[in-house]
Amino acid sequence: MMQAHRQRGTPLAVMFLDIDHFKRINDSLGHAAGDELLRVLAERVHGVLRDNDVLARFGGDEFCVVASLNDNEEARHLAQRLLQRIKEPVVLAGRSIVMTSSIGISLFPKDGESCEELLKHADLALYQSRAAGATMPSSSARHSRPRPASNCNWRRSCAARCNGTRACCSTTSRFSIWATAR
């Protein structure tokens, strides 16, 4: 996937999504309700993404989306579409629940040229988004770039990190784009 984007000169987005306060759902409504919430939100996110985008659950309440882009701004639009779709209430155990989440975004090749770089910077952007706690996007500049890896298979990398789970979900009111200092 990355090699195709490198050859075409088109960007790729790596988004980490983390559900805020997910533990409260498990603690108050039980793990079955938490599992149902993850399933519903994963279906919503899947409905927003295109066939060639990659979805992966990285564990607990953290997920990854790898999306092909025509330009860098498309990542922000995709994040907004995800926000719009999944902020709709979910009925769990007879209760209507609205979840929030944080999104961290890194962009190929702007923010890295290897899987490891892009995953690392999306994770850092997610952390920054969580820390900001604001409803507006925040960004951070990165000052150094590790040596790029020669090849990356996103489907295999994501599947390896998430033990083969092919689900992704997000409910978010804020996101952060990791911006490269030039």
The set of catalytic residues is: 61
Comparing CA positions, the residue from 126, 107, 130 lying closest to residue 14 is 107
Return all residues near 42 (Cβ < 8 A) that are at least 6 apart: 55, 57, 63, 167, 168, 169
Neighbour-count burial of 5, counting CB atoms closer than 10 A to its CB (0-12 exposed, 13-18 middle, 19+ buried): middle
The distance from CA 177 to its chain's CA centroid, rounded to whole angstroms, is 11
d(CA 83, CA 29): 24
Neighbour-count burial of 97, counting CB atoms closer than 10 A to its CB (0-12 exposed, 13-18 middle, 19+ buried): middle
The distance from CA 135 to its chain's CA centroid, rounded to whole angstroms, is 16
Q: Token pair of 14, please?
A: 């790596």
